[in-house]
């Protein structure tokens, strides 16, 4: 197991708030801490470059997307999984590092029991040609950005549902696609995937985390990676859920799958049938992406942190600048279940390849 890189720092204020044991008091402390941490984060300056890349559109149960609030006979919403390629100046050294956030190996991901059963139910043609759309591959997007697998320093995921890491980082004798990359993962997530509960197993690829331990960097809470980029500790959707936070010159972006659209954070503005009424009835300010319910109180608090840390969109200030790692997507197979608004995804700056001397080291 690799040690936490010394250049990584904890974000201020949030760690202390997480220690509060009472869920209600913890939520109130996290509200204040998220605003204070955001101010410190923004003061340090913007990220060097970020590109958002669409990978695959896929079905997801309507029941889960808005915790049962959405009223539709369609059994599935459609969501588009996206990867962020992030380059940032590392604190202390100033070296530019490259992070891939959510580089889903979707071909391997079909082995997760939930999606394996879905393909068996509907058949390969409907599953691959009608119910899903491939937009590009991780390697293809990197090439289009002028990068190679050898340029990647880190990979991270908001959570490890349907992820198979062995192709990217090696395992079972297979060579790694990314020869230098380390996995950044919350210790709680890594511990969980090694000892899954039966109610969790349906979302995880069997053996998908069996990679060399020296490729793994365990994080303990919020981690400030460098100028303009942090990984927020946002437990709930899974026990080690992580959100990507990015500061640009104009705004802060937050990315995760705690919610399926920005309106998950402003449900009173949703035009999806049932969502606004549900939020009003329950008195909720956020509506969870609820395919796992083991830590719903934590997920609610984490979504409030994401909401406050992101702040309003510079494009439409009525909505939170939250960008789902798997974005609710309008589709003929999901009538009435398209997003109320789609905000411009994080894209800024110019990508640069890693200097050859460092890549060879």
The C-alpha atoms of residue 194 and residue 166 are separated, in whole angstroms, by 15
Q: What's residue 124's pLDDT?
A: 78
**Which tens digit of pLDDT belongs to each residue from 186-201?**
999 999 999 999 889 9
Residue 357 reports pLDDT greater than 80 = no
Mean pLDDT of the chain: 94
Q: Is 249 exposed, middle or buried (0-12, 13-18, 19+ CB in 10 A)?
A: exposed
Average pLDDT over residues 126-146: 92
Q: What's residue 91's pLDDT?
A: 84
Among positive and negative, which fits the CA dihedral 190, 64, 253, 142? positive
For 218-227, give one letter per residue: b (16+ CB within 10 A) or e: bbebbbbbbb
Q: What's residue 309's pLDDT?
A: 98
The C-alpha atoms of residue 65 and residue 307 are separated, in whole angstroms, by 18
Within 10 A of 126 (CB to CB), how many other CB atoms are there? Answer: 13
Tally of helices (H runs) and strands (E runs) in the chain = 11, 13
Percentage of residues in the chain having pLDDT higher than 70? 96
Q: What φ, ψ does residue 242 adopt, rounded to 5°?
A: -135, 140
The C-alpha atoms of residue 210 and residue 172 are separated, in whole angstroms, by 8
Average pLDDT over residues 11-16: 96
**Partners of 254 in the beta sheet?**
245, 322
- 301 pLDDT tier (thresholds 50, 70, 90): very high
Q: What's residue 354's pLDDT?
A: 87
**Which tens digit of pLDDT belongs to each residue from 40-75?**
999 999 999 999 999 999 999 999 999 999 999 999
Residue 352 reports pLDDT greater than 80 = yes
**Which tens digit of pLDDT belongs to each residue from 40-49?**
999 999 999 9
Residue 359 reports pLDDT greater than 90 = no
Question: Could you give all domains of the chain from N- to C-terminal order, each with its CATH number?
Answer: 14-351 (3.60.15.10)
Distance of CA 338 to the CA centre of its chain: 20
């Amino acid at each position: 197991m690799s040690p936490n890189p010394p250049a990584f720092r904890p974000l201020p204020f949030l760690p202390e708030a997480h220690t509060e044991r009472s869920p209600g008091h913890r939520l109130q402390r996290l509200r204040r801490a998220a605003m204070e941490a955001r101010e410190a984060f923004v003061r340090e300056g913007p990220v060097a470059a970020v590109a958002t890349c669409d990978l695959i559109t896929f079905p997801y149960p309507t029941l889960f997307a808005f915790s049962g609030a959405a009223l539709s006979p369609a059994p599935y919403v459609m969501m588009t999984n996206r990867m962020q390629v992030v380059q940032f100046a590392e604190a202390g050294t100033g070296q530019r590092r490259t992070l891939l956030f959510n580089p889903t190996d979707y071909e391997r991901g079909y082995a997760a029991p939930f999606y394996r059963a879905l393909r068996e139910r509907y058949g390969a043609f409907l599953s691959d040609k009608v119910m899903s759309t491939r937009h590009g591959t991780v390697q293809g997007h990197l090439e289009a950005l002028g990068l190679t697998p050898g340029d990647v320093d880190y990979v991270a995921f908001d959570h490890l549902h349907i992820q198979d890491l062995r192709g990217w980082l090696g395992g079972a004798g297979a060579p790694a696609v990314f020869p230098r990359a380390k996995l950044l993962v919350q210790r709680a997530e890594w511990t969980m995937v090694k000892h899954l509960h039966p109610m969790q197993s349906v979302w995880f690829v069997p053996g998908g985390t069996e990679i060399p331990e020296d490729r793994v960097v365990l994080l303990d809470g919020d981690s400030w990676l460098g100028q303009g980029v942090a990984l927020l500790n946002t437990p709930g959707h899974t026990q080690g859920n992580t959100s990507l936070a990015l500061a640009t010159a104009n705004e802060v972006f937050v990315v995760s799958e705690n919610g399926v659209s920005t309106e998950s954070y402003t449900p009173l503005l949703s035009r999806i049938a049932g969502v606004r009424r549900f939020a009003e009835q329950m008195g909720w300010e956020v509506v969870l992406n609820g395919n796992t319910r083991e830590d719903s109180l934590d997920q609610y608090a984490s979504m409030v942190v994401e909401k406050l840390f992101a702040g309003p969109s510079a494009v439409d200030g009525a909505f939170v600048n939250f960008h789902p790692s798997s974005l609710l997507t309008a589709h003929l197979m999901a009538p009435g279940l398209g997003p109320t608004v789609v905000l411009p995804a994080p894209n800024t700056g110019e990508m640069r390849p890693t200097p050859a001397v460092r890549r060879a080291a």
